[in-house]
Structure 1
């Protein structure tokens, strides 16, 4: 049964229970480029109380450095080693688990965050932000685009410049069964400016449907994200709480990772009514109207 935090004693008991707080970003700290009310005060409260803070995001368009700049721009303290976007977890997977040979490249259906993180770990890549791929397909393309033995993986993330040309290339590369099919995350939508738009999972679906292949997913709620986090920071999972806005990624991630608790905020994707649906696949341990309420009522 999910507990709604409403009374001061509930807030105090909740904060005393955990030493570590892991935060999703979009829909929790901000919506679009607008900070959500009271978040800065809540983060300052947690820091002053000696809590360990970690930022975890499925957004693959930003690198760790990009995220640190955005968090700091909202007057929230953040260090590079506290930040774990899916672009980072994906790069760690390619380098340390997939162990892509040096003569192989990653074809990116995505943006600069993935490129930056692959560069950081020394993995060669193509596609991504290449402006020459932002055009219509022509007859020459259909005659020349074929499987490429130099492509060892296709990595899909959010791509706001996705084109049919990129899909054609990725599709052909994935005809090689030795070419890994990777997905930064499977979020169907993302929240911004009070509404929703298609997310990374939606961007990748044409390839899943056309190739018949199932990608390896490297963001929340899967273990690969937590493995990337624990490789960088040490903490007791039973004393940690994940704070997110989405039941099927954030709250599921807390359950899958064996964390001590989860807190759903109602400023993003999931709504209070979903918690009480008869067939709800996962429910949070706690929920709250907004993260800013912690500073107001604790």
Structure 2
């Protein structure tokens, strides 16, 4: 039977800090693994940047409940002219699996011809920005690496933003994209796909060791997920003082193919949530971390951004939390029936079938 040492870090945090302004995040506090000032009742205090990443989705959804119903997009030109930047989700908006959605190249060309900045943000952490650049190229799209922001990159950028110690390690439950971004950022890591073949042979007295220098566990979508990874990550989070539990996203489903939906990264995150009883710091959508990062990097005012996505609880909330205009496309996971259901409290500013409607709606208004 596995023996696990008890730790005060088993207890979940009950603090509920007030969220910062949606248009600008406060400067991140330095990361500290120890020190009495960092502890509250046996818990490790979370840096300010962590609290930004933990912004309450429930609060945002509650605010959205009072919003008017989404309007069907009728005048594409008016929306295009009202913003400087379009942020696009990828899965379900630009492509499904490895298949490009009809009309995407022409739509992106139209927006670029009007001088609009285009940014592509995905919660899928299996690839690095460079790898996503190659996917865009394979699909015939000319997109610069600097225009791509994946949650794998967000995890590394978040660690940099809190001055995560370079002498500490990151345990990764996820795929190659996270490893590549951590390496580019100069962080030590272990785990990833190589742990996919590891098994635990349970027998009386078995005790599983773990690296006490792990200061963060990053969990993303992982097709090599297994019990070894769950137990190793659990031990690090529970027993290493101050160890962070970071999730690239909590998406319920993902588009691995264009034929059906597949269990998403939220399934892997949920396993660690269940075993540690701790809420993760989510760096992907709908957390505002990436929005704040993009706004600072490009010098964008968030009111001059339109967020385009196919998911209400990630893409649209991401835009709303950041103070952007929002456009839901029905080419991905959300149907019109779901959008208009009385049970749905998340309403975008506009909705349309797919982004290529920019072309036809433009023609209809000329």
Determine if the TM-score, normalized by the shorter chain, exceeds 0.5. Answer: yes
Deviations 1:192-241 (A, max 9, x none): 31321111111111110111111111100112121332343221211110
Query: Per-residue deviation at 1:135?
Result: 3.4
Q: Partners of 1:110 and 1:234 in 2: how far apart?
A: 31
2:147 matched to which residue of 1? 82
Shift of 1:149: 1.6
Distance (whole Å) between structure 1 residues aligned to residue 266 and residue 307 of structure 2: 22
Q: Please give the residue correspondences for 1:1-298 in structure 2 after superposition, counting only pairs within 5 Å.
A: 1-6=69-74, 10-97=75-162, 99-130=163-194, 132-139=195-202, 143-176=206-239, 177-191=241-255, 192-259=257-324, 261-298=325-362
Contact 2:83 2:306 in 1 (8 A): yes
Structure 1 stretches of 5 or more lacking a match? none
Alpha carbons 1:218, 1:224 under 8 Å: kept: yes
Matches of 1:198 and 1:142 in 2, distance apart?
Answer: 35
After TM superposition, give the deviation of residue 119 of structure 1 in Å.
Answer: 0.6
Higher mean Cα deviation, 270-279 or 242-251? 270-279
Q: 1:140 to 1:100 in 2, by over 3 A?
A: farther
SS for the counterpart of 2:286 is: coil
* Structure 1 residue ranges, 4+ long, deviating more than 4 angstroms after superposition: none
Rounded to whole Å, the distance in 1 between the matches of 2:203 and 2:181 is 33
Work out whether residues 174 and 193 of structure 2, in 8 Å CA contact, stay in contact via their aligned partners in 1. yes
TM-score (ref. length: structure 1):
0.93
1:57-96, Cα deviation, whole Å (9 max, x unpaired): 1010111101111112222221111111101111011122
- Please tell me whether Structure 1 or Structure 2 has the larger radius of gyration of its CA atoms: 2
- Of the structure 1 ranges 243-252 and 173-182, higher mean CA displacement relative to structure 2 is found in 173-182
Can you give the 5+ residue segments of structure 2 that lack an aligned partner in the other structure? 1-68
CA distance 1:25–1:229, change in 2 (3 Å): same
Of stretches 272-281 and 46-55 in structure 1, the one that deviates more from structure 2 is 272-281
What is the root-mean-square deviation of aligned Cα atoms in Å?
Answer: 1.7
Equivalenced residue count is 292
Shift of 1:183: 0.4
Instruction: Give the match's secondary structure for 2:212.
Output: coil
Conservation of the 8 A alpha-carbon contact between 1:56 and 1:83 = yes
How far 1:274 sits from its partner (Å)? Answer: 2.0
1:190 Cα offset (Å): 1.0
**Per-residue deviation at 1:142?**
7.7
Could you say if the C-alpha distance between residues 140 and 279 of structure 1 is closer, same or farther in structure 2, counting changes exceeding 3 Å? same
For residues 222 and 269 of structure 1, what CA distance do their matches in structure 2 show? 19
Q: Per-residue deviation at 1:140?
A: 7.4
